[in-house]
Amino acid sequence: MSLLDEFKERESNRNSEQEYWRSVEQLVDTPEYEEMLIREFPEGADSPPANFSRRRFLALMGASISLAGFSGCRWPKEEIRAFAHRPEGLVPGVPRYYATSFDINGHINGIVATSYDGRPIKIEGNEVHPAGMGSTDAWAQASVLQLYDPDRSRKIAHRTGNQTVHPGWAQFQKSLQGDLAALWEGGGAGLVVLTEKSSSPSLRDLRDRLLASYPKARWTEYEPVSWDAMREGAKIAFGAPYRVHSDFTKASVVVALDDDLFGYHPTSLKNARDIMQGRGGSGENMNRLYAVEPVHSITGSMADHRLPLRASEIEAFTHALASELAKKGVPIASAIKGKLKTDGTHVPAEFIATMAEDLANHRGRSVVTAGYRQSASVHALVNAINTALGNLDQTVLLTRDPEGERPSHAQAIADLTADMNAGRVKVLAMLGGNPVYDAPADLDFGAALAKVPTSIHLSLYDDETSQKCTWHLPQAHYLESWNDARSWDGTVSTVQPLIDTLYEGKTNLEVVAMMLGEQPFSGFEIVRRTFRSMAGPVIDFEKGWRRALHEGIVENTALPTARTALNAAAVAGALHGGSHDEGYEVLFTHDARVFDGRFANSGWLQEMPDPMTKVTWDNTANMSPASAEELGVKTGDIVSVTVEGKSLSIPVYVMPGHASRSVSIALGYGRTAAGHVGDGVGANAYALRTTKTGYIAHGGQIKGTGAKAKLATTQDHYLIDDIGMSGYDKRYSAIVREGQFADYKKNGKNAFHQDHHPPLVSLWKEPDFEGTAWGMSVDLSKCTGCGTCVIACVAENNIPVVGKDEVRRGREMQWLRIDRYFHGDKENPTAIHQPLHCQQCENAPCEQVCPVGATQHNQEGLNDMVYNRCIGTRYCSNNCPYKVRRFNYFNNQDPVTPIEKMVYNPNVTVRSRGVMEKCTWCVQRINRVKIDAKNHKRPIRDGEIIPACAQACPTRAIEFGDLTDDKSAVAKKHKSKRAYHLLAELNVQPRNVFLARLKNPHPALTESTNGHHHG
């Protein structure tokens, strides 16, 4: 009988004198309540402990006194405590910064997390880290939102049959040790640990310990999207697993074969920085980037020459390139030369001849790369080409792969599933990952999992895999974890927590330690143990440890460059010329937003427009205009894509510049247990992907279903009619200016479109400025359109997520948008990215029309937005020629749980419904530096104030500073011959300039393959 029922019963027959009662318990007269009335203190608090001898008491007292003096030695404290008492030196509201590392797919970037009063709220790049050199990708930027995701798993779930219980860690540990004890006799046979790709030395150390204890146990690794092909290719070419690094700073010619160097690559941030460094037009020479690719990637959009080519023909192209190089006298090994197949490629001969000539002319100063989608054979041949070009040890460097010998990820998961199906796996511990969702469909990992008696899944979310396991364990987020990692070049990086675990999460290290049953259990101790063993016998370990935590890296731990010779015979043996299938190929790609599905529950990333399609909240089947015409479909039509009998319904996106007879679909969508945000978004491409297909499926059947989807795109909503196109064509060259490097060297600013307008006169008195005048510049030569700045801005400025429906209505809230323009031949257009935030006009048209004066000019030239005063007429937005203002159509900031609120930047107002908002050039950052400078009575240094977008930018395309200071970087940019004001003829006098994009096309190819250029 429940308490309530009891109450009701008593209520009905209680005596009438008892009029008042204090609580339900009093009414029900429970014995506990009776006792509580008598007791002064809670039970146990007022009586001496039982079984506590005098001797024990004295021993404890003695120990307390003698150890009291040691309390000062315990630094750093391992535990992270709430601020009941303010720690010394901490000023509330003043941010603290901690170096840590962000890991995606085993690729590390060093970051600095900003913490306000114990809450990490913003990720920035760590300048001393070799991977990002101060910049980040969008995934790292969005990771703070994941930390505070209310959908994250909070408890252990133990599932047996239809029952789910939520025991504690102690019970789990007991159960686990029971299971492991049963395997002890057999040396651990039947124990398998499946992890995500990890570079952590501590995890490796624990693996070795585990395998030492359980010699017959298996440790395996799986990633649905991985760079194994590079590894396998190097293994063929150089005889052992090597990592191939490219030094683009020294490369004059770069050829990317289906390789999204800036989008997803182990060193994408460094690639972008290094390649773009040489493209400002300041030097004597400029590098040249060729991209041959099936999809239209951001790398392709930056290329000087881009050739759309089906992924299955890239191999044939590589053969043709090698043979063309051989003709130009490049010493391709004769064993290889004999095996090259030069028929069957659809490449214009002129293109390949020019590319080969360009490479041959830049021996030792060029790089050829291939992407993760391509086979080991292509990678091997690319290695051979680089060797023949003399690039090896010059622009192409090798290091031994610290992962050593291991099967490829595709092989590993297939082997594991076979074992599971055969009943050979008794205990399967999965540390991260989500194989039920992302393992090849033909393996049916979920069904195999049912045959494993004890399956354990450590995961941030109670996801698809967790729900099929007997145990789900909540994982600690990396911002809650002690861990370590090695970046792609080998540099040891630290992972330290910024906050105590919000839920009951544990790290992968702690779970393995729990399996081992050995001390220490805590991540902190494990990492310190690893560092201690890596450091060897040093005098002052603590000092080095503290330094490593402070810097985020351990210096000089990069892997040594290896020198080795090409095994031409092995390469020749691996060549097979690729597929000549003429049907539709279906490509499975990583996604610029959710990656492989792991970020599906991040609203920031779901709402980030794809860099090329500008689609949000969906994945699409991208295809070329010609293919779409052939199939009779248009953007938004739902097609059914069938591969090997498996079908998927997905909307089409007609992507100009996509290779024809090729359809690319991003992985990571159509999740069913991602959380409230990610469930049911898009279509699950993993359903089509089998062990055999890998990244490229041949013989795809694509049919229109007649249904239509409403895609939520942030650009080109209705840019399909002729009149729109004609208007677009006329203004294109004025809006995004582009010129050729050679022309620019000769003619300076006349290489670009120039504005012609009558003298501009202002209707109003123009504002005066005192002291500093803030300015910005955006270099279109450097902007790859990756979208990191958009997410950095969202994170910094508390920008809300509005959802798919609202984006479809055109109500996305991102203050910074990246306009992507295509131009020229629609089968192979030029694509250009233009980040657009508030231009901070001096004659701001928005200010003039606000009836209540809610947007005002300040003395430093910023166009301030006074949220308190705004009544929401939206007139300012109508009058903004750049349309960079954003209106809160609804109450977009409505956190359901207190946890969600923790992600807010305390220095930025959270805007209410009915209020206009816009980019402020991170005025809170400007003010923080101004206050600091004033306190120290010093001028503000150039480069000291960095808005969030500029900070995150991998290529440093955005500069900010004081225009009155002639020496400031931004003032120099404003004086550049490439600088132009967007829509200057309106006389709004923007404080931001764009720098026209320079391209460096090969003279021989200027007319034939690159569409139209503007001189």
Contact residues: other proteins, CB under 8 A? 715-719, 721, 723-724, 726-728, 730-732, 735, 764, 806, 809-812, 817, 819-821, 834, 836, 845, 848-853, 869-875, 877-879, 881-884, 886-891, 912-916, 982-983, 986, 988
The answer to whether 254 touches 366, Cβ cutoff 8 Å, is yes
**DSSP H helical ranges for 89-239:** 138-147, 169-184, 201-213, 228-238
CB of 308 to other proteins, least distance (A): 23
Nearer to other proteins, 174 or 869 (CB): 869
The answer to whether 608 touches 593, Cβ cutoff 8 Å, is yes
Which helix (H) or strand (E) element contains residue 191? strand 191-195
Nearer to other proteins, 41 or 718 (CB): 718
The answer to whether 321 touches 356, Cβ cutoff 8 Å, is yes
Nearer to other proteins, 219 or 732 (CB): 732
Nearer to other proteins, 473 or 982 (CB): 982
Burial of 1011 (0-12, 13-18, 19+ CB in 10 A): middle
Question: Which of these, 647, 644, 640, 683, lies nearest to 665 by C-alpha position?
Answer: 683
SS3 per-residue string spanning 753-780: CCCCCCCCCCCCCCCCCCCCCEEEEEEC
CB of 754 to other proteins, least distance (A): 15
Residue identified by tokens 């990678």 is 379
Nearer to other proteins, 932 or 985 (CB): 985
CB of 275 to other proteins, least distance (A): 25
Q: In what order do the strands lie in the sheet with 492-495?
A: 483-486, 492-495, 553-554
Nearer to other proteins, 36 or 719 (CB): 719
> What angle is formed at CA 210 by the lines to CA 204 and CA 216, rounded to 5 degrees?
115
Nearer to other proteins, 577 or 914 (CB): 914
Nearer to other proteins, 879 or 1006 (CB): 879
How many other CB atoms are there within 10 angstroms of residue 615's CB atom?
24
The answer to whether 273 touches 956, Cβ cutoff 8 Å, is yes
Distance in angstroms (rounded) separating the CA atoms of residues 178 and 174: 6
How many other CB atoms are there within 10 angstroms of residue 126's CB atom?
27
Residue identified by tokens 């085993």 is 106
CB of 868 to other proteins, least distance (A): 9
CB of 297 to other proteins, least distance (A): 20
The answer to whether 949 touches 789, Cβ cutoff 8 Å, is yes
CB of 709 to other proteins, least distance (A): 16
What torsion do the CA atoms of 921, 923, 924, 926 make, to the nearest 10 degrees?
Answer: 100
Nearer to other proteins, 334 or 762 (CB): 762
CB of 658 to other proteins, least distance (A): 21
CB of 985 to other proteins, least distance (A): 8
Question: Which of these, 887, 931, 938, lies nearest to 913 by C-alpha position?
Answer: 887
Nearer to other proteins, 535 or 983 (CB): 983
Nearer to other proteins, 183 or 734 (CB): 734
Distance in angstroms (rounded) separating the CA atoms of residues 299 and 257: 11
CB of 714 to other proteins, least distance (A): 9
CB of 142 to other proteins, least distance (A): 22
CB of 839 to other proteins, least distance (A): 11
Nearer to other proteins, 489 or 716 (CB): 716
CB of 763 to other proteins, least distance (A): 9
Distance in angstroms (rounded) separating the CA atoms of residues 870 and 354: 59
* Tokens coding 781: 């030569």
Nearer to other proteins, 191 or 807 (CB): 807
CB of 656 to other proteins, least distance (A): 14
What angle do helix axes 349-361 and 314-327 make, rounded to 10 degrees? 60
Strands 396-400 and 242-246: antiparallel
The answer to whether 788 touches 1005, Cβ cutoff 8 Å, is no
